[in-house]
Structure 1
Amino acid sequence: MQAAPTRPADRAVLPTKRGAVPMAGVCTMLASGLSTQLGAAIGSLAFPVLGPVGVVAVRQYVAAAVLLAVGRPRLRSFTRRQWGPVLLLAAVFGVVNLSLYTAIDRIGLGPAVTLEFLGPLTIALAGSRRRVDLGCAALAAAGVVALMRPRPTADYLGMGLALLAAACWAAYILLNRSIGQRVPGAQGTAAAAGLSALVYLPIGAGVAVHHTPSAGALGAAVAAGVLSSAVPFLADLFTLRRVPAEAFGLFMSVNPVLAAAVGVLVLGQRLDVAAWSSIAAIILANAISILTRPRHA
């Protein structure tokens, strides 16, 4: 859920062996991260016409089309034990993108993605008894406090929605682990994406009836789906086979910086020193945690 993340990629196949990161892998990760944040930025341009709900609906359709084509789930063969986490993941897919895009609309791309990144960071630090990880947690918490500090222009609803997206991303990681143990390949993730898209069909229809979409707004929403769902998913399929786990995780932590940069360059959003400091603190916490892990971890 790089997403952001918000990206429907099955990360249960991360390699764990340390080693040099091939240049092709670095380029792919960079392209994937930029694609995700550019997609979110372009999608936000359709907010005045479709609103975050309409943009998310279109994104869900695109994500479902890609995942169903790749995963090809055999729904009739699913057992009750398999359907449980799949249904939960479908709900997570629906909530994570809606909460994130609404947060982007209210507080900006950089801060929203930074707060959302707390989801995977929390999963990475949870249960650890290493002092360095406790320090990383404290550093990340300090970044959050600085980002959410009281001020006249603070939008706490937007921040709360970004934190909801973070919780959904954490749930996505945990559910994907469970699904990976119960459903072969990407079938479970694909089925969840398809179910989520079905739920959004009437929602998208309702948005279209009350807010007639322009060609530009619809194109921006479709571009968001392609850039933030289709491209990152296919890129991850390539990357996860060639890049060590710690390198992939470390690069994922750069997404808040990419989001902030895209917000400034594409959307004209401005961040103060405290916001940039918060982003740096959260990224640094993740980087230290990853780089100091034992080789056998």
Structure 2
Amino acid sequence: MQSPASSRPLVGVALVVGSCLSLPFGAAVAAQLFPVLGPWGVTSLRVAIAALVLYVAVRPRPRRWNRQQWTAAVLFGVSLAAMNGCFYAAIERIPLGPAVAIEFLGPLVLAAVLTRRMADAVWVGVALAGMALLGIDGMIGSEPLDPVGLAFILVAAAFWIMYIRMSARVGRLIPGHSGLSVGLLVAAVLLLPVGVPAAVTVVAAPDLLLLAVITAVLSSVIPYTFELAALRRLPQRVFGVLLSLEPAFATLAGWLILGQDATILRMLAVALVIAASVGTTLGVRREKRDEGPFTAPIPLPE
């Protein structure tokens, strides 16, 4: 029978897969709100609803935190607000699959920097090849990439690196999900200036409010809870490469919900990123078997 310690990496992998499934479908639902609320309005509502749900569920007690814990939670909130706002601004202008693929350059760079094994570097290269194919498809396909959308997604990629780093730090410094709850509250406050008009609009339209709630659950509550738990079980380099599954699921969500084309290049890219994720997962299992007890995520600089 598998011991609890030996099952931790596999649980972490399952949590990342669950997050990768939830996020793009939430983004596809959110895209349907853009014509009415705009990307920043949708971002604000999504984060505010998620913050409210988690606050009620978790009941954090930040008054007992020290300065280090508060700093981690606030920086986590900053990364959430900027990453999500820029991502939604991007997918208003470019297709969902290529947008997520380009944004994945953030965790891909982080994985490349943190890797210590040649096998990990190879799988990073495979994932990068998949990202490149999606980028090429976006430039030469039926939906060329808008330069403003491209700029937004590159900024989102940079903040995705910050999100991974701060998520790992919050998970290490603050027990449970209190850090995530307060981080979302910080993000909601930062986005409040662009969220007030959107809130006024949805109050008068219950159908829009329902879509906003679905977006918050699929794009914030589920994935951030899963990812925080995964980062307590997986090294950041492994977590970063496993996120390469997200462009594959984003392409699927764009095709199923938004009617965006799934071209041959996109399908080939999907196959490459899945191969990278499977290879990394198998590497985690071998590392666990060869090296004994699984280690915590790589410590972050103070």
TM-score w.r.t. structure 1 length?
A: 0.77
Which residue number in structure 2 is paired with residue 106 of structure 1? 93
Q: Hey, which of these two has a bigger chunk of helix by percent?
A: 2
The reply on whether 1:73 has 2:60 as its aligned counterpart is yes
The amino acid of 2:6's aligned partner reads K
Gaps of 5+ in 2: 295-302
Match of 2:272 in 1: 281
SS at match of 1:271: coil
Name the counterpart of 2:51. Answer: 64
Say whether the 8 Å CA contact 1:46–1:218 is kept in structure 2: no
Q: Is the 8 A contact 2:76 2:170 kept in 1?
A: no
Residue 17 in structure 1 maps to residue 6 in structure 2: yes
Q: Does 1:181 align with 2:151?
A: no
Structure 1 residues 91-100 or 147-156, which shifts more?
147-156
**What residue number does 1:55 align with?**
42
The residue that corresponds to 1:8 in the other structure is: none
Deviation of 1:234 after TM superposition, in Å, equals: 6.0
Indicate if the aligned counterparts of 2:107 and 2:243 stay in contact, CA closer than 8 A. no
Match of 2:299 in 1: none
2:102 to 115, 119, 126: 115
Matched, 1:167 2:167: no
Amino acid at match of 2:53: V
In structure 2, the residue matched to 1:216 is 207
Which amino acid counterpart does residue 135 of structure 2 have in structure 1? M
| Aligned position for 1:202 | 193
| Structure-1 residue corresponding to 2:282 | 291
1:105 counterpart letter in structure 2 = E
After superposing the two structures, state which structure 1 stretch, 56-65 or 204-213, moved more.
204-213
Cα distance in 1 for residues equivalent to 2:220 and 2:211:
14
Gaps of 5+ in 1: 1-14
How large is the Cα RMSD of the aligned pairs? 3.5
C-alpha separation in 1, matches of 2:225 and 2:77: 20
- Asked if the contact 1:58/1:221 (under 8 Å) is kept, the reply is yes
Percent identity of the aligned residues?
Answer: 34
Q: SS at the partner of 1:148? A: helix
In structure 2, the partner of 1:193 is 184
In 1: Cα distance, 2:180 partner to 2:47 partner = 13
Q: CA distance change for structure 1 residues 60 and 290 in 2, over 3 Å: closer, same or farther?
A: same
Structure 1 residue aligned with 2:125: 138
CA–CA distance in structure 2, aligned partners of residues 233 and 182 of structure 1: 16
Q: TM-score, normalised by structure 2?
A: 0.76
Give 1:224 shift: 0.5
Q: 1:43 aligns with which of 30, 53, 57?
A: 30
Q: Partner letter of residue 256 of structure 1?
A: P
